[in-house]
Structure 1
């Protein structure tokens, strides 16, 4: 008898040295990011059906494919969610083994959309604190908005703090 029978058998899942989050930890991380919402509301935010969450509870295991898809759709960093205190390595373009060279350049549509979205998000803060829409004020709030997206600082908190600080500072005239 050949060894083909052993080669073609289905292999069980391999054990990993990395501890994955359990159900309680997943809910705690989601509440940390989205606020103290009900579990059903958190699942809706991620597009996870009630039946899927019910299965997770019953089996006491999580289907990470649904969770990862939901986190990505919601714009939540997987690094932050799954490995908040781990130093992860991000390869430089020169370290990647590619057949074609990577073209690193400004992507106008993506970058412009991000800045326009940030500008729309900060306008209510300018209005709330009766701040003029000066270049300086908008730039400060947009920079903070974009930084908070990268660092996962609560955006409302960061923008409130800066808008409040701007409302206290005497406005200097600046050329537009």
Structure 2
């Protein structure tokens, strides 16, 4: 069996290996079933039929009937299609989970004489740009603590929304801060 390297991946030239059905990955995670997967794909793709959704993913239209027959979704193909369309995997696989995002952007690296911009700083400035006019409109005091709460809330959003639990926690933090300021 010979292999070729394409896009930094080793691609097998073994035709039998390419045509062999993929083994089902057994996981303890609660991944979406076929119907849930299709419902989420219909939402994000804005397609009505299963065959149109499959084409949107870049898959043959018959893929859906294969999934239904096997009662199993080929998630790696779904991931490839979602990423190709810049759709958040968080939204698809964990829509009601407030996930942890490690802060790996705090490391500054050099490229020649230029420094790469720190993504965390850029995101914080964008958040402040958005929240400060809201704070001014509602006459919220421009303290560092208030700015921080508002910026954190902005950064915890998912698309145009926020998980209810996350929103309630942020409101509780804001209320506790306001009560502390009113009492102190």
Query: TM-score scaled by structure 1?
Result: 0.46
Instruction: Name which structure has the greater RCO, CA cutoff 8 Å, separation 6+.
Output: 1
Q: Which has the higher helix share?
A: 1
TM-score calculated relative to the size of structure 2: 0.45
